[in-house]
Structures are given as structure tokens and as C-alpha cells.
């Protein structure tokens, strides 16, 4: 399994070392015993212990060390009388040296074992782990990284990370580095390019490694492949965007009368004003002030018609949501303008109670307009068979929490059964005979995607009130 | 020139919630010499006092808050109406025409079409006013007749001869003749045929009398 780890890169080494160590020990023993040198030849057993410590287990190292000590004593016994002399001192020095070496070698070995155990654990995890120094050069690369990216550790170590992986950062790298240096951590989503050219989205966690003096020496980066999750989330988002678009197109279809009216009003103004001008010119009875006023109103009407067309186009276009700071009052009045004819056809009226000084909210103009249109249309349909009281929709805006704007849309309709109030927002749930059950469900998914909430409650005097909250845009001092 | 002077005596009333439609129409009608009054809503119109001149009403079929058709039904005076709509639909047209609308123009309309429709409507109102005037004059004359003269007039117009009338009313034939002469004079009738027409217009019938 660890065939690539340096300690066992050559499988035959331990065997050879064992033989060599044995031969070396015998050689030391012979020299120590046979030659009449008055030096501590036995100190050379230290080499034997060190060699053993490099390749043998802890137990075997101890055996080797004890063996060396025994050989030292044996050699002394064979060549000297047992008395306190220089030779005995040399023997003791040798034994002490072997003992000390063994102790240090074993301690060092256990530290190495811990390190390689850790490395093995890092290899066992599916997470991608690598270490890079302050110059972004890779110094460690685990097998998870090898599997994810396709580069082996020999390919990767020594390369610059962001060049190798073509990293796409969510925010400028300087900001990320600043946060890392300040807090010692960073988390975020990165897009990397694998060896095969495919991209992968990872949830990345960085932790800064520092030396004893607190100087940053490198970064440990742990990456989790979230491409699949991201892909399904993206697919879900796309499906919701499409559904919202279909809902808008269907709604626009229902609003053709209103839209035609919205366009035809200014066109009527243009045609009649220009016709009038031509006639007055023919009579020679048009004064210049009057002409200027007429032309100005023709221009205004033309601009108005084109604005309507733009608004309709925007509503019918399929675009990804674009968040911006918006005025709730603008959104509401834009929606109402499109519904003017619908309201008069239903003999209904809208009463606005908007708070003028609300903070802006963050959101997609089109989608929020769609929510308002859906809710007002919903209210209109709820009041379709009401005859005993005015068909009135009241729209209120207010700020109930410091960071939220509340919008209320209250109808005077037949109301909703209490047990259905929560189910209203479920897809395909409808209390109307020909309702698709999509409008309110789309409202909810849009509001939730904006970080807000939507709920319905019954009015004490009949009808239903829909309430929704939207997050305020963060202003400069907020 | 004669048109212009006639127009000055007539009035076009516009009801539309959209100021640019109101302004455009006002300028258009002014360009051919019509007096114009424009209103933003039916309520505004009903609250105003209008001069007693030939006029017509130009209004959007979908007034805010109240449909133009309902408004048409509520109007007491039989003023001719030209409807405008942004999105013409057939049931509305039918209802409008049944309700006596002069015309039904889809916005945006050609300015000439609107002017023609207004001219027709004003003409219709002028005729209506003229015939109403004749009738009210006639009624005033009829008021001057004595009850007996009213009876005689009914019998004359039903085609009876003096002798028959005398028998019917138990009068001498000469008395009937005198009544008859007085009736002709009071009603400014030039002939018996003229008197018969008047009796018809006034709804004076033999069975109605007595």
C-alpha cells in the first residue's frame, strides 16, 4: 500500500541492512577482541545501533543494542582480567555510548513513527489535503489530492498551486490572504482544474502553519469535492428560474388586455395630438407654444409606450436573478400599473398604504414584481364572487425589524379555511377550480431565495392577508 | 365656416383616466372647432353642470372603478356616446351598441374616424334636441286646450266626421265646428292632416280621453 513511501521504496533494504549490520557487528567484535589497540573500538557498535534504528522495529533495535553490549562485555572478558583498569573504563564508556545512542535512536524513531502515521492518516482520508509554503509552492500532497486532481505527489510537489490547479477564487486573493494572516483560517468555495482539464468545485479550508516564533511558514489546505452537490443545487436553481419564467409568461398572457391598454393609451395620445397638430397647421392657426406643448406630450407618450414594452420584455425574458438595492414602493407601483385594467375588469380597487422612508431591499426587480403581481392577482380571484362589500385590496409596507421590510397584501375575498393557510404555498395546491397551484408556490420560492419569509393569515373581518419580509440592503453605515 | 360656427354651439365631453388621451383629444377637437370638456372620471363628469347645447360623450369602455357600459346605463340624459377601448371585445361592443352608442373605436384610432364619429353623434343630438323642442312646444300648445277641446281633438284625429263627433259627445254639430276651429287655431295646425300628426306625436287617442 505504501509502496511509494520513501522508507520502503526498495523492498530488499531491511534484509540487506540486517546482513550488513550483522557483518559490521562481527567485524567490530573481531577488531575489539583480536587487535591489541588501546582504544574504545566498541564505541563503533553505535553505528550498528543507528543502522538498526533506521530499519528495525523498536523491539529489534533493543535486541541489537543489548547484543552489542553483550559483545562488548564478551570481548572484554576474553582479553582482560576482571579488574578496574583503563580497559574496563573503555568498556564502560562503550556500553554507555551504546545505551545513550539506543535511547536517542528509539526516541527519534517513535517521533518518526508518529509523523508517518499522521501522513498515512492524511492519505487514508478522502479529503484532499496538501501543504504549500508561503510562496504557494506545494510541499505535501496526499493521496486524496492525487485522486481528485490526477497529479501524483511527484508531479505536484514543488509546483505553484494556483498555476497547477488554475484556481478560481470567489474573492480577490489579497483579501483571502489578509484574512488568513489575520485569523489563521479561511473557508470558501474554489474552482480548480484537474489534470484531465475538467473543473471541480471544492469547499476549501485553509489553516495557517506557523513556526515557534509565530512566523507563517505555510498553509494546510483541505478540500472537499462539492461539484456534485453544487451541480444539483444549480439544476434546482435553474428549474426554479425556469418555472418562475413560465409563471411570468402565463401571467402576461392573462394580462394581455391590461398590457394592450397600457400601450394603446400613449399611442392614442400620440395619434390624436399629431393629427390635431397637422389640422391646426393646415388652418394656419397653430401657435408655437401650443405646438411645442403638443410635441412634448407626443415625446412623453412615446417614451411611456416604450417603457411599457421594456417592462413587458423584462418580465417575459428568461434571465438569472440579479440582486440589486430596490425600493419596495417602486416594485409595488410597477406591478399595480400592469394590473390597472385587470382591477377595473374585476371592479376592484387597490389602496396603497406605503411607508415612504423605508430602506431599500436587496433583490431581483423582475422576480419581486412577479411576487407582487401574483399576490394581487390571487387577491382579485379570491374576491371574484364578492358582491356585498367593496372589492378592495390594501397593500401596506412597513419596517418591523431593523434589517427587514414587511409587505402586506390584504384582500376582502372569501377567505381560506384555517387548515389550508399553510398548504396554500405548496406546489399544485389550489382552492380555485381552475388554479394550477403554482403562483403562491413560486412566490414562496422567490421570497425564500431572497432570504425572506412569506405567510398567510385570515383577517378578522373576512378575506386573507399575505405578508412577506425582505432583507434590507446594507447601506454604507449599516 | 358654417361648420365652425355650428361647432361653437356644440360640445364634446371626454371622460378618460389618462391625461395624455384627454389632452390629445381636446387638442384634436379644438383643431376642428369643437368646444371640449374633459373629465378624469365618471364621478367628475356627473358633478359638473353642463350648458344646454348639442353635445356627445367620448369615453373609455373601461372607466376606472366603474365600467363605461354601466355608466351608459345609468345616464339619465340620452346623450350620444362614442366608446373607446384598448382591447375591443365583442360582447362589450354589442352591449354598447344596444345601449345606443353611436360608435365604438379601438384605441389607437385614426383621428378622422374619431372626428367623423363625433360629427355624427353631435348631429344626432342636434336632431334629438330639435324634435324634443317641437314636442315640448306642441305640449305647451296642447296645455292651452280646454277639456272639451281635448276630447274633440282626439275624436277628430281618430277620423270621425263632425256629425259623428256631435252624436258621440251629445253636442250640436255647430258647436263641434266651433271647437274644431278653435283647436286648429290654438294648435297652429294648418290642416286636419297636420292636427292628426300632432295628436299622434302627443299620444292623444280617443280611448285615452274620458
Chain A within 8 Å of B20 (Cβ-Cβ)? yes
Whether the per-residue pLDDT at A10 is higher than 50: the answer is no
Pick the CATH number of B144-202 from 3.50.50.60, 3.90.1200.10, 1.10.10.10, 3.40.50.720: 1.10.10.10
CB of A405 closer than 8 Å to CB of A472: yes
DSSP per-residue string spanning A336-386:
HHHHHHHHHHTTEEEEEEE-TTPPPEEE-HHHHHHHHHHHHHHHHHHTTT-
Least confident range from A251-265, B58-72, B112-126: namely B58-72
Least confident range from A21-25, A110-114, B13-17: namely A110-114
CB of B101 closer than 8 Å to CB of B79: no
Domain boundary assignment for chain B:
3-133, 144-202
CATH 3.40.50.720: does it fit domain B3-133?
no
Whether the per-residue pLDDT at A3 is higher than 60: the answer is no
In this prediction, what percent of chain A has a pLDDT beyond 70? 93
- Give the integer Cα–Cα distance in Å for A183 and A185: 5
**Which residues in chain A have their CB less than 8 angstroms from residue B110's CB?**
271, 275
DSSP per-residue string spanning A230-262:
HHHHHHHHHHHHHHHHHHHHHHHHHTHHHHHHH
Least confident range from A369-378, A463-472, B87-96, B169-178: namely B87-96
Q: Do B86 and A256 touch (CB under 8 A)?
A: no
SS3 of A160-185: the string is EHHHHCCCECCCCHHHHHHHHHHHCE
**Which residues in chain A have their CB less than 8 angstroms from residue B21's CB?**
265, 268-269, 272
Whether the per-residue pLDDT at B92 is higher than 80: the answer is no
> Which chain A residue is nearest to residue B22, measuring alpha carbons?
A269
> Which chain B residue is nearest to residue A272, measuring alpha carbons?
B24
* More confident site: A115 or A324: A324
**Which residues in chain B have their CB less than 8 angstroms from residue A304's CB?**
20
Q: Which residues contact residue A28 at a Cβ distance below 8 angstroms, ignoring those fewer than 6 apart? A: A41, A42, A44, A45, A48, A71
Residue-range domains of chain A with CATH:
6-122 (no CATH), 125-225 (3.30.450.20), 228-320 (1.10.287), 321-478 (3.30.565.10)
pLDDT of residue A13: 64
User: Cell digits for B39?
Assistant: 373629465
Chain B within 8 Å of A300 (Cβ-Cβ)? yes
Q: Do A279 and B63 touch (CB under 8 A)?
A: no
- Give the integer Cα–Cα distance in Å for B21 and B35: 16
Question: pLDDT grade, residue B207 (50/70/90)?
Answer: low
Q: Do B31 and A279 touch (CB under 8 A)?
A: yes
> Which chain A residue is nearest to residue B19, measuring alpha carbons?
A269
CB of A88 closer than 8 Å to CB of A81: no
Least confident range from A119-123, A177-181, A331-335: namely A119-123
Least confident range from A36-40, A94-98, A250-254, B22-26: namely A36-40
Q: Looking at beta carbons, which pairs linking A95-98 to residues 24 or more positions away fall under 8 Å? A: A95/A42, A95/A69, A97/A40, A97/A43, A97/A45, A97/A46, A98/A42, A98/A45, A98/A46, A98/A49, A98/A65, A98/A68, A98/A69, A98/A72
In chain A, how many H helices and how many E strands? 14, 12
Q: What is the mean pLDDT of residues A271-296?
A: 88
Peptide bond into B108 cis (omega under 30): yes
User: How far off is chain A from B52, nearest CA to CA, in Å?
Assistant: 26
- Give the integer Cα–Cα distance in Å for A118 and A140: 12
* More confident site: A423 or A409: A409
Q: What is the mean pLDDT of residues A196-204?
A: 89
Q: Do A273 and B27 touch (CB under 8 A)?
A: yes
- Give the integer Cα–Cα distance in Å for A258 and A252: 9
Whether the per-residue pLDDT at A248 is higher than 50: the answer is yes
Chain B within 8 Å of A243 (Cβ-Cβ)? no
Closest by CA position to A28, among listed A91, A63, A92, A71: A71
Q: What is the mean pLDDT of residues A346-351?
A: 87
Instruction: Give the helix ranges, DSSP H, for B48-172.
Output: 68-74, 90-98, 111-143, 147-157, 162-169
Q: What is the mean pLDDT of residues B159-172?
A: 89
Q: What is the mean pLDDT of chain B?
A: 83
Q: Do A269 and B23 touch (CB under 8 A)?
A: yes
pLDDT of residue A82: 65
Chain A within 8 Å of B116 (Cβ-Cβ)? no
| pTM score of the predicted model | 0.56
A142-186 pLDDT, tens per residue? 888 888 899 988 888 888 888 888 998 888 888 888 888 888 889
Instruction: Give the helix ranges, DSSP H, for A1-149.
Output: 13-34, 45-55, 58-79, 86-124, 143-149
Q: What is the mean pLDDT of residues A259-288?
A: 88
- C-alpha radius of gyration, chain A, whole number: 41
**Which residues in chain B have their CB less than 8 angstroms from residue A260's CB?**
86-87
Mutate to test the interface with B, among A255, A257, A272 (most CBs of B within 10 A): A272
> Which chain B residue is nearest to residue A261, measuring alpha carbons?
B86
Q: Do B20 and A269 touch (CB under 8 A)?
A: yes
Q: How many inter-chain contacts (A to B, CB under 8 Å) are there?
A: 100
Question: What element of type H or E holds A326?
Answer: strand A324-326
pLDDT of residue A9: 42
Whether the per-residue pLDDT at A250 is higher than 90: the answer is no
User: Cell digits for A36?
Assistant: 591489541
Q: What is the mean pLDDT of residues A56-76?
A: 85
> Which chain A residue is nearest to residue B89, measuring alpha carbons?
A257
Q: What is the mean pLDDT of chain A?
A: 84
Chain B within 8 Å of A306 (Cβ-Cβ)? no
A411-436 pLDDT, tens per residue? 998 888 888 887 888 766 666 666 66
Chain A within 8 Å of B65 (Cβ-Cβ)? yes
User: How far off is chain A from B125, nearest CA to CA, in Å?
Assistant: 24
* More confident site: A244 or B180: B180
Whether the per-residue pLDDT at B7 is higher than 70: the answer is no
Q: How many CB atoms lie within 10 A of CB B3?
A: 10
Chain A within 8 Å of B38 (Cβ-Cβ)? no
Least confident range from A135-149, A212-226, A418-432, B36-50: namely A418-432
Amino acid at each position: 500500500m505504501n509502496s511509494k513511501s520513501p522508507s520502503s521504496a526498495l523492498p530488499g533494504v531491511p534484509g540487506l541492512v540486517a546482513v550488513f549490520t550483522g557483518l559490521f557487528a562481527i567485524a567490530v567484535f573481531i577488531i575489539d577482541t583480536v587487535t591489541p589497540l588501546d582504544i574504545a573500538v566498541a564505541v563503533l557498535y553505535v553505528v550498528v545501533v543507528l543502522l538498526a534504528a533506521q530499519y528495525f522495529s523498536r523491539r529489534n533495535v533493543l535486541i541489537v543494542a543489548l547484543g552489542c553490549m553483550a559483545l562488548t562485555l564478551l570481548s572484554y572478558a576474553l582479553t582482560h582480567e576482571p579488574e578496574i583498569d583503563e580497559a574496563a573504563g573503555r568498556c564502560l564508556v562503550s556500553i554507555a555510548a551504546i545505551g545513550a545512542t539506543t535511547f536517542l535512536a528509539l526516541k527519534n524513531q517513535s517521533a518518526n513513527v508518529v509523523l508517518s502515521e499522521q501522513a498515512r492518516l492524511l492519505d487514508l482520508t478522502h479529503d484532499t489535503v496538501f501543504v504549500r509554503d508561503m510562496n504557494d509552492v506545494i510541499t505535501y500532497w496526499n493521496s486524496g489530492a492525487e485522486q481528485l486532481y490526477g497529479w501524483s505527489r511527484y508531479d505536484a510537489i514543488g509546483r505553484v498551486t494556483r498555476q497547477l490547479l488554475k484556481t478560481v477564487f470567489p474573492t480577490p486573493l489579497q483579501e483571502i490572504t489578509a484574512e488568513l494572516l489575520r485569523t489563521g483560517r479561511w473557508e470558501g468555495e474554489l474552482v480548480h482544474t484537474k489534470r484531465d482539464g475538467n473543473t471541480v468545485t471544492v469547499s476549501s479550508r485553509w489553516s495557517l502553519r506557523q513556526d515557534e516564533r509565530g512566523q507563517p511558514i505555510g498553509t494546510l489546505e483541505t478540500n472537499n469535492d462539492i461539484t456534485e452537490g453544487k451541480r444539483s443545487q444549480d439544476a434546482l436553481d435553474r428549474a426554479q428560474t425556469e418555472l418562475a419564467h413560465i409563471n411570468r409568461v402565463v401571467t402576461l398572457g392573462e394580462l394581455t388586455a391590461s398590457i394592450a391598454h397600457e400601450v394603446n393609451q400613449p399611442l392614442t395620445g400620440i395619434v390624436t395630438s399629431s393629427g390635431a397638430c397637422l389640422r391646426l397647421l393646415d388652418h394656419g392657426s397653430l401657435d408655437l407654444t401650443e405646438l411645442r406643448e403638443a410635441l412634448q406630450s407626443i415625446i412623453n407618450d412615446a417614451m411611456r409606450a416604450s417603457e411599457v414594452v421594456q417592462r413587458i420584455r423584462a418580465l417575459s425574458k428568461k434571465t438569472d436573478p440579479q440582486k440589486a438595492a430596490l425600493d419596495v414602493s417602486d416594485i409595488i407601483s410597477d406591478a399595480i400599473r400592469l394590473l390597472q385594467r385587470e382591477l377595473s375588469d374585476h371592479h376592484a380597487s387597490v389602496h396603497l398604504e406605503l411607508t415612504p422612508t423605508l430602506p431599500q431591499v436587496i433583490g431581483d426587480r423582475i422576480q419581486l414584481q412577479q411576487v407582487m403581481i401574483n399576490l394581487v392577482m390571487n387577491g382579485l380571484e379570491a374576491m371574484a364572487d364578492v358582491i356585498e362589500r367593496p372589492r378592495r385590496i390594501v397593500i401596506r409596507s412597513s419596517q418591523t425589524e431593523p434589517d427587514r421590510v414587511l409587505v402586506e397584501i390584504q384582500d376582502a375575498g372569501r377567505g381560506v379555511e384555517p387548515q389550508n393557510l399553510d398548504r396554500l404555498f405548496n406546489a399544485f395546491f389550489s382552492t380555485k377550480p381552475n388554479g394550477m397551484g403554482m403562483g403562491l408556490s413560486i412566490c414562496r420560492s422567490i421570497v425564500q431565495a431572497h432570504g425572506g419569509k412569506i405567510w398567510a393569515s385570515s383577517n378578522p373581518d373576512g378575506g386573507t392577508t399575505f405578508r412577506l419580509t425582505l432583507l434590507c440592503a446594507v447601506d454604507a453605515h449599516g | 365656416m358654417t361648420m365652425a360656427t355650428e361647432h361653437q354651439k356644440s360640445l364634446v365631453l371626454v371622460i378618460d383616466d389618462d391625461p395624455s388621451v384627454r389632452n390629445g383629444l381636446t387638442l384634436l377637437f379644438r383643431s376642428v372647432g369643437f368646444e371640449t370638456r374633459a373629465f378624469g372620471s365618471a364621478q367628475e363628469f356627473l358633478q359638473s353642470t353642463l350648458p344646454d347645447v348639442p353635445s356627445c360623450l367620448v369615453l373609455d369602455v373601461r372607466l376606472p372603478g366603474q365600467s363605461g357600459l354601466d355608466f351608459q346605463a345609468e345616464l339619465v340624459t340620452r346623450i350620444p356616446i362614442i366608446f373607446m377601448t384598448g382591447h375591443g371585445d365583442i360582447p362589450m361592443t354589442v352591449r354598447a351598441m344596444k345601449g345606443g352608442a353611436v360608435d365604438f373605436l379601438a384605441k389607437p384610432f385614426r383621428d378622422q374616424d374619431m372626428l367623423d364619429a363625433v360629427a355624427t353623434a353631435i348631429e344626432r343630438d342636434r336632431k334629438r334636441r330639435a324634435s324634443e323642442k317641437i314636442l315640448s312646444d306642441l305640449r305647451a300648445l296642447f296645455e292651452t286646450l280646454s277639456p272639451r277641446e281635448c276630447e274633440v281633438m282626439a275624436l277628430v284625429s281618430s277620423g270621425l266626421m263632425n256629425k259623428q263627433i256631435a252624436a258621440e259627445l251629445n253636442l250640436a254639430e255647430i258647436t263641434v265646428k266651433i271647437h274644431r276651429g278653435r283647436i286648429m287655431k290654438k294648435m297652429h295646425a294648418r290642416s286636419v292632416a297636420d292636427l292628426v300628426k300632432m295628436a299622434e306625436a302627443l299620444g292623444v287617442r280617443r280611448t285615452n280621453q274620458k
